[in-house]
């Protein structure tokens, strides 16, 4: 697809080998469970430095100087304790995904897709989404739309679609048919509600379009924000149409006709637009839309059915023959485009639990060539997305951004929990290359892979107090509710967890009592003063826990890199994949899980 940005299979394998050799030495840090921090005296077992020294070095935003030649050189002392935090920082940076030379830069990909052209955005996502979600949706949807155009695809399946942010934007902005699939009926309901609000947005938008040519003040409209209903109210006052009722129900007669029903109960509103200059007025707001994805002059008209614009009237009122010819050509183009959009431009939220064995017919009755996408699909769902892509001939492309690595199932994990949930296929590893080495991370290491290095580095720290509470609680449990075999049995009990009690607690004493009760233990044997005594004893050592968590944060990009390179390697091992890449789509400060695995079939 994009030969200048392709990364070969052998290079990916070599980087996986480099990472596994590195993590064989350093993964012991990431696999420490914070719960056991004080019961196992973790700091003194792994680190030969004061916590202040570790914290100051790791939070220093100065880049480490390149290079430790050997992954273990000078970092550990003879007792295998961390003795040089500067060397530790350098070597973790060297093995972080951005420094391995296997990612395809987003700017390069954009250049291949669009050249020097820029896409106009007429639908402002910040109106309906948080700044984080807006950033993610705008960037990812542009990439998806470009790949869909290249593959001549109009149908997109959004796996783990949640409340439909990405799905609805792909449909509204790029005219794609989108099936949003989520296992939660609550999320699907939320997606339908959001779709309803978008219809209200378009209703107000269409009303303002109708009056643009009727008042000279409309020339100032482009200076006004078009982001939300409140903005449209301001526009209405500016152009002098305060008498119009903005909140008129959709089913009343007036400016808005009955809704046009599209398949799967997706509704788009149809406006009365008989004014001859309506299209030109629309273009006045939107500006010329660059012909990168759509070949019409105005994306907004794609949301009108063919009979919503009286094209004949437009032509009859033209006096100049040249202008008539221009209008005729525009009309032919618009009619063809409107017909296609009317049939295809929709977003359908569906509730379905998706696995690698899911049939496309379970999602879409009339399966066409499609692209499968996922924005922050959790755990095994990201892996299953890639497997479904490979298994189904109708799927021509995939773009997957995963998250929640701790929820991945590991084929070669040695824990008791993994033995109790034997199944296949596994979430990690996926590639034959990594599976052949029988390599595993471990759940705690995969949990560490989710830590946001960039955010922590700029001062957005981890929730240290809640982690501290849990670690001290573990000391209390060990000393008062079981030792030896009894304690081990308690640790392996999967049916009871402390959960999110911290946010509901007023103090450590309150936290401890609520936790003990939830775990089914007798709290009467401990007084408040006894519990407070544990807090006072360990509070001076809280800085050890904070510093150790920074060591885990520094390793996070390395572990995440291995998981993502394994997925990329899986795609590159397939004979029918023409092009695949690992691309950083998002700003990690806004969205820490920022990498997309992208593939296109031959």
pLDDT score, position 517: 92
At residue 513, the pLDDT reads 96
By CB neighbour count within 10 A (0-12 exposed, 13-18 middle, 19+ buried), where does 247 fall? exposed
Q: Order of strands across the sheet with 177-182?
A: 347-351, 177-182, 155-159, 370-378, 395-403, 595-601, 577-584
Which residues touch 449 (CB under 8 Å, ≥6 apart)? Answer: 30, 405, 406, 441, 556, 559, 560, 563
**Measured distance CA(440)–CA(20) in Å, rounded:** 9
Q: What is the pLDDT of residue 494?
A: 43
DSSP code of 123? S
Distance CA 177, CA 264 (A): 12
DSSP 6: -
Residues 484 and 486: their CA atoms lie apart, in Å, by: 6
Q: Alpha-carbon distance 472 to 476, whole Å?
A: 7
Tokens coding 94 = 């060297």
Walking along the chain (602 residues) 10 residues at a time, the average pLDDT comes out as: 76 98 96 95 97 92 51 78 95 95 88 63 65 91 92 91 84 86 62 58 53 50 42 38 36 35 33 38 35 38 38 47 73 63 55 71 79 94 94 95 95 66 81 95 93 84 88 95 53 62 95 94 93 98 96 96 98 96 94 96 92
CA-only gyration radius of the chain, Å = 29
Phi-psi region of 438 (alpha: psi -120 to 50; beta: other; left: phi over 0): left
- Alpha helices by DSSP H, 211-304: 229-238, 278-286
- Greatest CA span in the chain, whole angstroms? 96
CA 470 to chain centre: 29
Phi and psi at 569, nearest 5°, equal -60, -40
Cα 187 from Cα 204, distance rounded (Å):
26
As given in the structure block, the two tokens for residue 200 are: 């209200």
Strands 266-268 and 260-262, sheet pairing:
antiparallel
List residues bridging with 261 in a β-sheet.
267
Give the separation between CA 228 and CA 201, rounded to whole angstroms: 7
Q: Which residue has the tokens 């999602």?
A: 363
What's the rounded Cα separation, in Å, for the pair 181 and 258? 28
**What local confidence, expressed as pLDDT, does residue 255 receive?**
37
- pLDDT score recorded for residue 352: 65
Element (DSSP H or E) covering residue 442? none
d(CA 286, CA 289): 7
C-alpha distances in angstroms, 257 versus 203, 207, 254? 10, 12, 7
179 three-class SS: strand
What does DSSP assign to residue 35? G
DSSP 57-110: HHH--SPPPS--SSTTTTTB-TTS-B--HHHHHHHHHHTSGGGSS-PPPHHHHH
CA-based nearest residue to 295, from 336, 323, 325, 264: 336
pLDDT at position 259: 34
Q: How buried is residue 365: exposed, middle or buried, by Cβ count under 10 Å (0-12/13-18/19+)?
A: exposed
Q: How far apart are the first and last CA of the chain?
A: 9
Question: Cα separation of 117 and 126, whole Å?
Answer: 23
What is the C-alpha separation between 50 and 471, in angstroms, rounded? 20
**pTM value surpassing 0.95:** no
What's the pLDDT at 109?
80
> Residue 184: which residues within 8 A CB-CB, separation 6 or more?
162, 351
């Amino acid at each position: 697809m994009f030969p200048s940005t392709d990364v070969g299979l052998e290079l990916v394998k070599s980087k996986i080998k480099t990472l596994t050799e590195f993590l064989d030495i350093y993964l012991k840090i990431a696999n420490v469970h914070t719960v056991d921090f004080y019961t196992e005296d973790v700091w003194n077992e792994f680190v030969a430095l004061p916590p202040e020294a570790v914290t100051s070095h790791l939070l220093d935003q100065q880049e480490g100087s390149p290079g430790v030649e050997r992954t273990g050189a000078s970092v550990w002392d003879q007792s295998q304790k961390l003795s040089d935090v500067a060397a530790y920082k350098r070597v973790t940076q060297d093995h972080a995904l951005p420094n391995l030379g296997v990612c395809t830069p987003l700017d390069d990909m954009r250049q291949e897709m669009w050249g020097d052209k820029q896409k106009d955005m007429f639908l402002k996502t910040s109106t309906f989404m948080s700044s984080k979600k807006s950033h993610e949706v705008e960037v990812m949807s542009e990439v998806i739309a470009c790949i869909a155009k290249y593959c001549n695809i109009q149908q997109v399946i959004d796996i783990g679609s949640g409340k439909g942010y990405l799905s609805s934007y792909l449909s509204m902005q790029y005219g794609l048919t989108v099936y949003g699939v989520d296992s939660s009926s609550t999320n699907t309901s939320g997606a339908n509600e959001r779709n309803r609000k978008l219809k209200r947005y378009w209703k107000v938008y269409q009303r303002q379009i109708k009056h643009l040519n009727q008042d000279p003040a409309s020339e100032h409209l482009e200076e006004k924000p078009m982001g939300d209903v409140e903005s449209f109210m301001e526009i209405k006052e500016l152009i002098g149409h305060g008498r119009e009722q903005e909140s008129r129900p959709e089913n009343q007669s007036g400016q808005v006709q009955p809704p046009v029903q599209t398949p799967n109960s997706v509704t788009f509103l149809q406006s009365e637009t008989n004014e001859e200059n309506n299209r030109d007025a629309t273009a006045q707001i939107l500006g010329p839309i660059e012909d990168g994805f759509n070949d019409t002059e105005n994306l907004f008209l794609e949301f009108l059915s063919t009979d919503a614009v009286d094209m004949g009237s437009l032509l009859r009122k033209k006096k100049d023959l040249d202008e008539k010819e221009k209008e005729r050509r525009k009309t032919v183009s618009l009619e063809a485009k409107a017909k296609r959009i009317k049939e295809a431009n929709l977003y359908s939220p569906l509730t379905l639990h998706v696995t690698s064995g899911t049939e496309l017919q379970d999602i879409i009755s009339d399966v066409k060539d499609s692209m499968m996408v996922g924005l922050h699909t959790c755990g095994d769902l990201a892996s299953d997305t890639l497997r479904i892509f490979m298994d189904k001939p109708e799927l021509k492309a995939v773009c997957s951004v995963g998250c929640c690595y701790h929820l991945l199932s590991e084929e070669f994990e040695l824990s008791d929990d993994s033995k109790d949930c034997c199944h296949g296929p596994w979430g990690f590893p996926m590639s034959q290359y990594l599976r052949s080495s029988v390599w595993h991370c471990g759940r705690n290491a995969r949990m560490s892979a989710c830590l946001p290095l960039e955010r922590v580095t700029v001062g957005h720290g981890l929730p240290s107090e809640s982690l501290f509470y849990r670690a001290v609680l573990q000391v209390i449990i060990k000393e008062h509710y079981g030792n030896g075999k009894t304690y081990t049995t308690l640790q392996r009990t999967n049916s009871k967890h402390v959960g999110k009690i911290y946010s509901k607690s007023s103090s450590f004493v309150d936290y401890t009592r609520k936790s003990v009760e939830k775990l089914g233990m007798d709290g009467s044997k401990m007084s408040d003063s006894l519990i407070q005594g544990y807090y006072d004893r360990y509070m001076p050592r809280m800085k050890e826990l904070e510093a150790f968590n920074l060591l885990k944060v520094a390793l996070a990009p390395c572990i995440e890199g291995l998981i993502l390179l394994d997925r990329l390697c899986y795609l590159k091992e397939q004979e029918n994949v023409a092009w695949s890449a690992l691309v950083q789509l998002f700003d990690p400060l806004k969205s820490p899980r920022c990498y997309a695995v992208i593939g296109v079939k031959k």
